[in-house]
Amino acid sequence: MPVVECRNVWKIYEPKVPALRGINLKVDSGEFISIVGPSGCGKSTLLNLMGCLDVPTRGRVLIGGCDTRKLGDAELSRLRREKIGFVFQFFNLIPALTVLENVVLPTVFSGRKDPKKAKKLLEAVGLGSKLRRKPAELSGGERQRVAIARALVNDPEVVLADEPTGNLDSETGAAILDLLSSLNRETGVTLVLITHDPEVAKRAERIIYMKDGKIVREVRK
Ligand SMILES: Nc1ncnc2c1ncn2[C@@H]1O[C@H](COP(=O)(O)OP(=O)(O)OP(=O)(O)O)[C@@H](O)[C@H]1O
Ligand SMILES: [Mg+2]
């Protein structure tokens, strides 16, 4: 069963911007896929729908076979918390919290506070010596590694990453990409990555090309 499935998904922003026009996409467990396409083609809109941060205007999004239209707000936020990890271009860390606190936070929300797990993940991404720093005291690459540890702390089934290397220099970006792809290989976490960069996209097993709100081509390695 796919981890995430989009069935004829449309998103029309008011008044009438058709950002997605009939997306059909199945992402299987353990896959690493990338989504590419020109600015404004609907990549972030699609990722937000796959992560249940937003709802389609038409069509459905299924997570682990479950039709998300049937879920209420509380159930949706639980599903997001437990099954989905997000990584964004601008990191979205909480500035007032330390590195460790930022990664612990999702475990607090899920009612299973787990500083040990958070620390272990931060060590795994090479930040074991910077647990008490604040995000502002880190480099961009380090901030993104904190965000990756945070995305993984609740053992999600899928990590959705929107231009995770978009705000980093190419060397740091390559290191972040290595980290994400090794996590995919070693832990089996499903990875969906949006990028502008064809070289980045090629790292995935499957590349989805979008244009004007549609999937226009799909390439499997
Ligand atoms: N909240 C919104 N309200 C209205 N229109 C929106 C909203 N968010 C996005 N759009 C429009 O929907 C279309 C798709 O936007 P989206 O952010 O998904 O593109 P994208 O492929 O991620 O682009 P980029 O590569 O620049 O990030 C664009 O035309 C955009 O202007
Ligand atoms: Mg975008």
**Domain harbouring 147, CATH code:** 3.40.50.300
Q: What is the pLDDT of residue 170?
A: 86
Residue nearest ligand 1's atom 31 by CA:
40
Alpha carbon nearest to ligand 1 atom 4, residue: 13
What share of the chain in percent tops pLDDT 70?
Answer: 100
Tally of structural domains, the chain:
1
**Confidence label for 151 from pLDDT (cuts 50, 70 and 90):** very high
Q: Is the pTM of this model over 0.85?
A: yes
Rounded Cα gap, residues 197 and 188, in angstroms: 24
Q: Nearest ligand, CA of residue 17?
A: 1
Q: Which residues line ligand 1 (CB under 6 A)?
A: 13, 17, 19, 37, 39-45
Give the pLDDT band of residue 196 (cuts 50, 70, 90). Answer: confident
Give the number of the atom of ligand 1 that is nearest the alpha carbon of residue 37. Answer: 21
Note the pLDDT tens digit of each residue in 112-127. Answer: 999 999 999 999 899 9
The angle, 0 to 180 degrees and rounded to 10, between the axes of the packed helices 140-152 and 170-187 is 20
Q: What is the pLDDT of residues 65-100, one digit of tens each?
A: 999 999 999 999 999 999 999 999 888 999 999 999
Range of the domain at 131: 4-220
Q: Alpha carbon of 42 to those of 97, 197, 200: distances in Å?
A: 32, 16, 18
pLDDT over 90 (residue 208): yes
Answer whether residue 1 shows pLDDT above 90: no
Nearest CA owner, ligand 1 atom 14: 42
Q: How far is the CA of 131 from the centre of ligand 1 (A)?
A: 35
Determine which residue's CA is closest to atom 30 belonging to ligand 1: 40
Q: State in Å: Cα 121 to ligand 1 middle.
A: 33
Q: How far is the CA of 40 from the centre of ligand 2 (A)?
A: 7
Q: How far is CA 147 from CA 7, 127, 198, 201, 204, in A?
A: 29, 11, 23, 20, 20
Between helix 115-124 and helix 140-152 the angle, nearest 10°, is 130
Instruction: Give residue 171's pLDDT.
Output: 87
